[in-house]
A and B are shown apart, each in its own frame.
Chain A
Amino acid sequence: MGPEPNPTKAHALEMRGITKRYPGVLANDGIDLDVRPGEIHALLGENGAGKSTLMNILYGLATPDEGEILLDGKPVTIASPSDAITQGISMVHQHFMLVPVLSVADNILLGEEPMAGPVFMDRGRAETRIRELGGFFGWEIDPNARVGSLSVGWQQRVEILKAVYRQAKILVLDEPTAVLTPQETTEIFGVLRRLTNEGYSVIFISHKLYEVLEIADRITVIRRGKVVGQRVPSETDEDDLAELMVGREVQLTVDRGESHPKDTMLVVDGLQVKDDRGREVVHGVSFEVRAGEIFGIAGVAGNGQDELVEALTGLRAVSGGHVTLDGRDATGDGARELTRRGVAFVPADRHRFGLVLSYPITDNMALTDYYRAPYAHGIIRDEAAIRGRAEAAVAQYDVRTPSVDVAAATLSGGNQQKVIVAREFDGELSLLVLDQPTRGLDVGSIEFIHRQAIAKRDAGTAILLVSAELDEVIELSDRIGVMYRGRLVAVVDGPSASREEVGLLMATGGRQASASGDAA
């Protein structure tokens, strides 16, 4: 099982002096990276630091301008992903490269089918092999299950099995925990440990600092295309790593100060919402949000939060219950009407809802206000006003862009989110809905957005924060509601809440709790 650890070679992989230039950008600037056999090596860096470029080079998706790659001490050329696979390098992408309609076995075998004769596949042998592999990790895996019907955590295991089946010696995992629950994360860490005990090497890409500290043997930090430091977990901490990554001191937890809640702004009473398939997924949720406080909703993804938020922002019909905004009914109000009443919304999926990627920053800044003064007079757009706002926002929110005329698609994730935040946080608001406002962002951007949210709260805005990121909810919220299977199972005080307490409620719904949807 697994490749033989080779004690005579110190390095399973060495990348030396890797340099890659793109027009106008030096993506990798003489990067050195070495990975030992049986090691979990974490690659840490902000978005756009050059992690992906480096891994694309390793996986044959990009050619370096300078530098060399050595496997087991021998220089190699990796011209394509199939080259990489033959040489024992496998990549588990953040977005899985699986065919949902095919079975587990089909996905694992794709391209490497064991044959019985020239035409037919040897299914029996394939399935046995997959069960064997699963057994090694202690997984009961059904080779005939359709991948599309598996949970995200299981899909990831299929990806790992695929890599192992192809006899990879080096596994690259790109943000493997981004989509997992805390429990699944712990489990996958166990799997990685098992792999390295067998002599596999793992490159673990992440920007979650505590995870890196927990799992990695060594940590290489990249900033602006350069290696800025290498650490061993026992000799570093989160603050040190964050500072290396960002290049300045970062406050990982914003100082939220004390909140001074005023009048009740939003009252949600017995709200019922259906999903796209017509099943009720929000069952009579009730809570209140007061001006000047942050009400957080925690919950494992898929417990009705998405539908709740969409209903509150006019994107989804309400099937029962009432919503009151600032004392007046707002049940079933559309997005336009809510904007008029001072509701702003930072959506979870910025590519789907928050931005028009092909539009320049100017048009994206005007996306929700385009129809009203000063951005339009009658039907005629005021180009100068639109441009002026975009330029002001880019300056104020420090959006890194050559100009306001570039398409939003060309910005990094953090800068795209800053454009949305700049647009939605603008002006006098009654209610601000933040749905996963920092998903996929690096620590610098997260810090920035958290500060802005606190500032908005202190300015007297009612904020509803929904996040699957438990730390974020605990860090920012004055009160926390926990959603479980479409119900609000508990509301706890934010500043005194513990990660364990809320985590348990998220995972179990606090079965002993009698009250459901009982707002403070």
Chain B
Amino acid sequence: MSLRRVVSVLTVPALAIVLALVVGAAIMIFSSPLVSGHFDPLLPLGAYAALLSGAFGSYNALIQTVVSSTPLILAGLAVGIGFKAGLFNIGAQGQFLMGAIAAAAVGAGLSGGPAIVSIPAALLAGLLAGALYGFIPGFLKAFTGAHEVVTTIMLNYIAIQFVAYLVTGPLRATGATFARSSDVGTAALPILIGRNGHLGILFAFVAVPLAWWLLYRTTLGFEVRTVGANPDAARYAGMSPRTVIALTMAVCGLLAGVAGAGEILGISHYMPAGYSTNVGFDAITVALLGRANPVGILFSGLLLGAMRAGSNLMQIQAGVPVQMIDVLQGVILFFLAAEVLVRYIFRVRAARVQVDELQTVSRSYGGQTTP
């Protein structure tokens, strides 16, 4: 990719972030009477400073940023690779949960065994569960034409309820005061750096170059991209769009499943009944902000992870609630979707080469992506 191309691709995401920070600042100023009793035009400065310092201000803050980014990057890839194949994978959330519960179950089952067995087994379980949960909508799309947006949304609900059932039922730990699965014991991922920099963070940093290499340097990735860009041309070229779609969704699910397994085995070490996470949905923002490119997803995942990591300090120091991050994220997503608006505000000329992933999003609602 030429430098000019890179700049042209990055313009809108960068401007979307700037606009989000401006909108966030405006909200903080107007709601500042609720925090401090009077209008405080400087509140955003303090809040953003605390956010920065909470994300990058210390060694532990940096590690926390990386740890928070890990699932976002992995699940971001799960959405982004889908975009490349012309699929809008809204099911990263469900795939993440299935990966998490499978890892929790196998981890708990092998919690007394040697780590050399229990860790790979629990990870493998999470990965396979995610892959299977991605394969289902992929298969349905490829062979029956059922739209992945609809099926993955439904599968998300099924995953939430299924996890709740397992944790309150068959997998419920005895003796725990609230419903949760039992501890994964030796299957817990070792801490490599800092307070909580677990082994799982490596997965994200391996997955990014691997995904890039597969997409852009192998015939498999070429098939995925061709099916996404033009399914008819893919058939003409002798590819099988059906197989590609089913398998790509399985790979997406695998990545989201690894993200889920990493969170359980690396951080919480058990699955609580009300496991509240938004990783699978935040991943859509990550993928769009990263322009569905693995390297872009790495950086957008780090950015959103940094905002998550720094938000606690922002709440403590500036009194701005952590939910502000959701607002920022929402505004970023809004401006990414309203690309024309961003270009108008900043008078940016449209790129000559269209960005495909947003087409996938809009096309997904009515257009044809079926083989």
Contact = CB atoms under 8 A, between A and B. Distances in A.
Contacts of A339: 238
B226 interface: yes
Contacts of B353: 358, 407, 409
A353 B236 contact: yes
A379 B220 contact: yes
Contact of A367 (B218, B220, B237): B237
Interface residues of A, number: 33
Interface stretch (A33-41, A48-56, A275-283, A368-376): A368-376
Interface in A383-422: 383, 405, 407, 409-410
A345 interface: yes
A335 interface: yes
Contacts of A315: 235-236
A363 B238 contact: no
Given A370-B219, A379-B219, A410-B352, A356 B226 contact: yes
Interface string A317-345: 00000000000000000111111000001
Given A339-B238, A379-B218, A379-B219, A358 B356 contact: yes
Given A359-B229, A407-B353, A410-B352, A354 B236 contact: yes
A370 B216 CA distance: 12
B217 interface: yes
B361 to A, nearest CB: 16
- How would you classify the secondary structure of chain B's contact residues: helix, strand, loop or mixed? helix
B339 interface: no
A335 B226 contact: no
Contact of A354 (B226, B233, B354): B233
A380 B229 contact: no
B236 A347 contact: yes
B218 A368 contact: no
A352 B352 contact: no
A376 B223 CA distance: 13
Interface in B301-321: none
B233 A355 contact: yes
Interface of B: 2, 217-220, 222, 226, 229-230, 232-233, 235-239, 352-354, 356
25 contacts: A334-B238, A335-B235, A335-B237, A336-B238, A337-B238, A347-B236, A352-B230, A353-B236, A354-B233, A354-B236, A355-B233, A356-B226, A356-B230, A357-B229, A357-B230, A358-B354, A358-B356, A359-B226, A367-B237, A370-B222, A379-B218, A379-B219, A381-B217, A409-B353, A410-B352
A367 B226 contact: yes
B354 to A, nearest CB: 7
A380 B221 CA distance: 10
A334 B237 CA distance: 10
A407 B351 CA distance: 12
Nearest to B354: A358
Given A358-B229, A358-B353, A381-B217, A368 B237 contact: yes
Nearest to B222: A370
Contacts of B217: 380-381, 383
A367 B233 contact: yes
A315 B241 CA distance: 12
Contact of B222 (A336, A355, A358, A381): A381
A360 to B, nearest CB: 9
Contacts of A354: 233, 236
A356 B233 contact: yes
B229 A356 contact: yes
A409 B239 CA distance: 22
A335 B219 contact: no
A16 B233 CA distance: 44
Contacts of A368: 236-238
Nearest to B2: A405
A89 to B, nearest CB: 28
Contacts of A381: 217-219, 222
A317 to B, nearest CB: 12
Contacts of A410: 352
B159 to A, nearest CB: 32
> Which of B217, B220, B230 gathers most chain A CB within 10 Å?
B230
Contacts of B2: 405
> Which of B232, B233, B356 gathers most chain A CB within 10 Å?
B233
A425 to B, nearest CB: 16
A334 B239 CA distance: 9
A381 B222 CA distance: 9
A419 to B, nearest CB: 12
Contacts of B222: 363, 370, 381
A153 to B, nearest CB: 27
Nearest to B353: A407
Contacts of A371: 219, 238
> Which of A338, A380, A383 gathers most chain B CB within 10 Å?
A380
Contacts of A352: 230, 232-233
Given A354-B233, A370-B237, A371-B238, 12 more contacts: A339-B238, A353-B233, A353-B236, A356-B230, A357-B230, A367-B236, A367-B237, A370-B219, A381-B217, A381-B219, A405-B2, A409-B353
Contact of B218 (A336, A355, A357, A380): A380
B223 to A, nearest CB: 8
Nearest to B234: A356
Contacts of B356: 358
A347 B236 CA distance: 9
Contacts of B230: 352, 355-357
Nearest to B355: A358
Contacts of B238: 314, 334-339, 368, 371
Contact of A376 (B219, B226, B233): B219
> Which of A313, A354, A379 gathers most chain B CB within 10 Å?
A379
A417 B2 CA distance: 26
A26 B178 CA distance: 74
A335 B236 contact: yes
